[in-house]
């Protein structure tokens, strides 16, 4: 991980502000979904990429009945 020199404090409600420079460089816009998880001893925040419920692929996905499915899995079902 690369240090940016940007430091933010957590407020009373547990929130932090992700600086606009970081959001722009990651392509995260207003109201975009992000996912958070722990990796080793760090918290990772990244733009959410919908993935296929069957294989986990993020390529060629579409939504069907509020579930994300990729084209390859759709083709194998037909």
* Domain range summary for the chain, segments of one domain joined by +: 1-47, 49-78
Which residues, 6+ apart, have CB-to-CB distance to 66 below 8 Å? none
pLDDT computed for residue 75 by the predictor:
92
Residue with tokens 């992700």: 18
Model pTM above 0.75 = no
pLDDT computed for residue 1 by the predictor:
66
pLDDT for 15-44, tens place per residue?
Answer: 999 999 999 999 999 999 999 999 999 999
pLDDT for 44-75, tens place per residue?
Answer: 999 998 999 999 999 999 998 999 999 999 99
CATH placement of domain 1-47: 2.10.260.10
Neighbours of 57 (CB within 10 A): 16
pLDDT computed for residue 3 by the predictor:
73
CA distance 12 to 20: 21
């Amino acid at each position: 991980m690369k240090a940016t020199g940007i430091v933010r404090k957590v407020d009373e409600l547990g929130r932090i502000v992700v600086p606009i420079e970081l959001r722009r460089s990651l392509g995260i816009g207003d109201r975009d979904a992000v996912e958070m998880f722990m990796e080793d001893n760090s918290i990772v925040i990244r733009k959410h990429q919908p993935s296929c419920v069957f294989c986990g692929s993020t390529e060629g996905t579409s939504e069907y009945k509020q579930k994300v499915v990729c084209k390859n899995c759709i083709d194998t079902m037909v």
